[in-house]
């Protein structure tokens, strides 16, 4: 009787816990869970007990659960994992799950699992990470984001020969704006410029502020011709706009396409040389090959 009372008390306590608690036997069939778990998966106890994940969830989700269950039993110790999960009610959550082996029936070893919904925490972490990749002034992506993206594009190019181009942009005579109108006006021009460029590029074009008045676009265009057309389009748009009061600006642009053997430094050096040529030959121009 005392054992029964203790067991009922334990079950009552477990049912009060918001975390998702479940037990499986050595054949991965559910032998128990708390109320929070039933509510979360949208099942009644009789629809869950005695069944395995493949009888309850879709194949992909069941396969994920089974993989972690097998790994935990094979290791024989506590195992933790975090992942996005979509449950039968189409609710997408980010779960922190811990599983440990436990003995039932006196001899058999099963699985005790505890999952916690940390979706809000994960979203906050993602938002914080995104903030670290944005330029504080212009709110376009920053140099850190550029470094991550170009390494990714170079890796894809090396493996699949998927080409991309880099467009280096510099605002012509920007120092004159700061000298004549002040840095506050200069900052306003930079913000307006970043927003204007973002508005006029495609989803496959990625804008970054590298520093000062220097910007870069990594363009996943199929050919360099597409990147050249984009650069000319942006050059004309910028020249036709008034970004602040009566201030008009122009930009110079250099373009090069990735080639075999390129690394972040080599492609950056080539495009910087092309930008320098554009600045040296009249400004408000696009250079995509060396001037001879």
In the DSSP assignment, the letter for residue 79 is E
pLDDT of residue 54: 93
Bigger pLDDT: 278 vs 127: 278
Architecture of the 1-125 domain: 2-Layer Sandwich (3.30)
| Residue range 238-252: mean pLDDT, rounded | 90
**pLDDT for 230 beyond 90:** yes
> Tens digit of pLDDT for each residue in 43-59?
898 999 999 999 988 88
Q: Residue 282 — pLDDT band, cuts 50, 70, 90?
A: confident
Distances (CA, A) of 61 to 58, 88, 205: 6, 10, 34
Domain 132-288: state its class.
Answer: alpha beta
Distance CA 25, CA 34 (A): 16
Quick one: which of 168, 220, 213, 218 has its CA closest to 194? 213
> Tens digit of pLDDT for each residue in 208-222?
999 999 999 999 977
**How many Cα atoms occupy the beta-carbon half-sphere of 125 within 13 Å?**
6
**pLDDT for 188 beyond 70:** yes
Q: Where are the domains of the chain?
A: 1-125, 132-288
pLDDT of residue 88: 67
5 in catalytic set: no
SS (H, E, C) 113-180: EEEEECHHHHHHHHHHHHHHCECCCCCCECHHHHHHHHHHHHHHHHHHCCCCEEEEEEECCHHHHHHH
| Residue range 228-251: mean pLDDT, rounded | 92
**pLDDT for 90 beyond 80:** no
**pLDDT for 91 beyond 90:** no
Distance CA 232, CA 280 (A): 18
pLDDT of residue 245: 80
**How many Cα atoms occupy the beta-carbon half-sphere of 272 within 13 Å?**
8
Q: Residue 18 — pLDDT band, cuts 50, 70, 90?
A: confident
pLDDT of residue 11: 65
Quick one: which of 288, 292, 290, 291 has its CA closest to 167? 288
| Residue range 236-245: mean pLDDT, rounded | 90
Which region holds residue 164: left if phi is over 0, alpha if psi is between -120 and 50, else beta? beta
SS3 label, residue 18: coil
Kindly name the residue from 55, 83, 158, 213 that is annotated as catalytic: 213
């Amino acid at each position: 009787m005392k054992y029964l009372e203790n067991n009922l008390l334990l079950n009552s306590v477990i049912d009060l816990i918001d975390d998702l608690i479940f037990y499986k036997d050595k054949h991965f069939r559910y032998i128990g869970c708390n109320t929070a778990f039933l509510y979360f998966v949208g099942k009644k106890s009789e629809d869950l007990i005695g069944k395995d994940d493949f009888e309850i969830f879709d194949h992909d989700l069941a396969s994920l659960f089974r993989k972690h269950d097998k790994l935990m039993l094979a290791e024989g110790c506590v195992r933790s994992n975090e992942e996005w999960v979509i449950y039968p009610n189409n609710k997408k959550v980010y779960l922190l799950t811990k599983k440990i082996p436990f003995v039932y029936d006196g001899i058999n070893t099963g699985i005790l699992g505890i999952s916690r919904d940390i979706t809000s925490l994960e979203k906050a972490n993602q938002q914080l990470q995104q903030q670290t990749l944005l330029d504080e002034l212009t709110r376009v992506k920053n140099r850190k984001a550029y470094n991550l993206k170009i390494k990714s594009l170079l890796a894809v190019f090396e493996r699949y020969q998927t080409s991309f181009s880099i467009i280096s942009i510099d605002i012509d005579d920007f120092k004159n704006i700061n000298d004549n109108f002040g840095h506050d006006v200069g900052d306003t021009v930079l913000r307006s410029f970043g927003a204007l460029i973002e508005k006029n590029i495609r989803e496959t074009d990625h804008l970054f502020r590298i520093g000062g008045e220097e910007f870069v676009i990594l363009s996943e265009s199929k050919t360099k011709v597409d990147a050249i057309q984009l650069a000319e389009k942006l050059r004309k748009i910028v020249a036709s706009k008034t970004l602040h009061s009566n201030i008009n600006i122009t930009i110079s642009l250099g373009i090069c396409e990735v080639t075999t053997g390129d690394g972040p430094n080599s492609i950056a050096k080539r495009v910087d040389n092309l930008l320098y040529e554009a600045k040296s030959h009249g400004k408000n121009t696009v250079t995509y090959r060396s001037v001879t």
